């Protein structure tokens, strides 16, 4: 599998899919505010906390003809030389909303149907401002476009995953009694950026997990608490750690979750090892079911055949990943069995499998494995082993 990623080819692929999807959805234009959709359209912005980014917003209007106007202060992030660029807009002010209405009419004269991914307060009035134009969710086009990844997109995810994993080797070695959660986070962040990450996208999780639900933190749904936000808490001998980290490379996400044990000489108990073995059997069954034409319900059934209660209630089998850390398809989620049956696997779909096997009183095992559907099966984009339960990755 080649590691070559061609940025121009990647951009052409995504723009092409976006325009095709707009045509299929009958959209004359789209107004995009969401950084994930913008990134897919080839418009990047510096990564910041959400609270900051709302007020340093980039946005764009995209016409079905391919004409694009980008409103941004970050010109380096505009991939396509044909896109027009203008000053960033005050999206929280009526003047900003008015400019966007004008821009939509400018790129798409005769506009009849427009997709919008989100509104700010002043944009709540855009229906009235656009007169008889039909306003629908831009996800009608961005969803189908983003669902099937091209080879360059999969290359980006593969690279993100590798950077994430390389950093986690250092973190796992540092997971010893007395280390603070924030120390592990610091080591992780330093390493991923040295290795070339574009950003870290989630506060690294080092979830100290009780061996039984009753011993753990109170939860609204009666499950074991996860993911708990990290702080300067320090870890102790025998702590069962469910870790979860994610980074972005070139606009695409990794997803890394493992179950580790904090200890001078970390070793699972025999009962904990049994949890892992059951998890491994479950994953082998799911892997055997992954092929084009299978549905998400087939994967859920394969998991349930090994472990009827393969998940705690609020856990699920998997979710898609790409420009967003969690995106369709969702597998075994509370969207329900009918949704699972409706999603048929197609080459180019990428998702993260993250089942949990839980034996109350013993603890559990959770690991996240990133999978790309291929013409004849799947490719594992993750490669990390399962220490201290097993050295080699379950395949």
> In the window 134-193, what residues touch other proteins (CB under 8 A)?
135-139, 181-183, 185-187, 189-193
168 or 394: whose CB is closer to other proteins?
168
Q: Which of residues 226-265 bind other proteins (CB under 8 A)?
A: 226-232, 248
Q: Nearest distance from residue 323's CB to other proteins, in Å?
A: 11
26 or 196: whose CB is closer to other proteins?
196
Site membership for other proteins, residue 20 (CB under 8 A): no
Residues with Cβ within 8 Å of 250's Cβ and at least 6 positions away in sequence, in order, are 5, 7, 156, 159, 160, 198
Site membership for other proteins, residue 120 (CB under 8 A): yes
Site membership for other proteins, residue 36 (CB under 8 A): yes
How many CB atoms within 10 Å of residue 94?
13
Q: Nearest distance from residue 98's CB to other proteins, in Å?
A: 9
DSSP per position, 289-331: H-STT-BHHHHHHHHHHH-TT-S-TT--SEEE-SSSSSEEEEE
Which of 225-233, 269-277, 296-304, 381-389 is the region at the interface with other proteins (rule: CB under 8 A)? 225-233
Q: What is the C-alpha to C-alpha distance for residues 275 and 336, in angstroms, rounded to an integer?
A: 26
68 or 163: whose CB is closer to other proteins?
163
205 or 372: whose CB is closer to other proteins?
205
Site membership for other proteins, residue 88 (CB under 8 A): yes
Which of 9-17, 224-232, 347-355, 367-375 is the region at the interface with other proteins (rule: CB under 8 A)? 224-232
Measure Cα distances from 260 to 83, 183, 202, 206 in Å.
47, 16, 19, 9
13 or 119: whose CB is closer to other proteins?
119
Of 31, 35, 86, 33, nearest to 61 by C-alpha is: 31
In the chain, the N- to C-terminal Cα span, in Å, equals: 18
Q: Nearest distance from residue 344's CB to other proteins, in Å?
A: 19
Question: Which run of H or E residues covers position 59?
Answer: strand 59-63
91 or 357: whose CB is closer to other proteins?
91
């Amino acid at each position: 599998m080649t590691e070559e990623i061609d940025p121009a080819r990647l951009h052409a692929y995504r723009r092409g899919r976006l325009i095709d999807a707009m045509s299929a959805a009958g959209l004359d234009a789209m107004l995009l505010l969401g950084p994930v959709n913008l990134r897919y359209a080839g418009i990047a912005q510096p990564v910041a906390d959400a609270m900051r980014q709302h007020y340093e917003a980039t946005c764009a209007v995209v016409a079905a003809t391919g004409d694009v106007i980008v409103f941004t202060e970050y010109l380096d992030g505009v991939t396509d030389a044909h896109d027009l660029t203008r000053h960033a807009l005050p999206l929280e002010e009526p003047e900003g909303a008015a400019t966007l209405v004008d821009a939509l009419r400018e790129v798409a004269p005769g506009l009849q149907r427009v997709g919008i991914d989100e509104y700010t307060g002043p944009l709540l009035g855009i229906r009235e401002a656009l007169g008889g134009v039909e306003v629908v969710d831009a996800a009608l086009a961005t969803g189908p476009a983003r669902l099937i990844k091209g080879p360059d997109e999969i290359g980006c995810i593969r690279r993100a995953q590798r950077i994430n994993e390389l950093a986690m080797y250092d973190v796992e070695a540092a997971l010893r009694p007395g280390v603070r959660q924030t120390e592990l986070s610091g080591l992780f962040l330093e390493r991923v950026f040295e290795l070339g990450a574009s950003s870290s996208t989630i506060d690294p999780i080092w979830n100290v997990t009780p061996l039984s639900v009753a011993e753990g933190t109170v939860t609204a749904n009666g499950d074991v608490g996860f993911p708990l936000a990290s702080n300067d808490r320090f870890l102790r001998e025998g702590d069962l750690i469910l870790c979860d980290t994610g980074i972005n490379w070139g606009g695409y996400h990794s997803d890394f979750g493992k179950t580790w044990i904090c200890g001078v000489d970390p070793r699972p108990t025999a009962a904990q090892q049994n949890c892992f073995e059951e998890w491994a059997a479950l994953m082998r069954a799911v892997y055997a079911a992954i092929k084009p034409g299978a549905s998400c319900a087939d994967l859920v059934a394969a998991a349930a055949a090994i472990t009827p209660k393969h998940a705690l209630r609020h856990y699920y089998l998997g979710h898609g990943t790409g420009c967003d850390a969690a995106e369709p398809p969702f597998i075994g989620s509370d969207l329900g069995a009918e949704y699972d049956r409706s999603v048929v696997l197609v080459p180019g779909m990428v998702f993260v499998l993250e089942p949990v096997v839980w034996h109350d009183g013993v603890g559990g095992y959770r690991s996240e494995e990133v999978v790309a559907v291929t013409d004849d099966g799947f490719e594992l984009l993750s490669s990390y082993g399962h220490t201290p339960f097993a050295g080699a990755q379950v395949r």
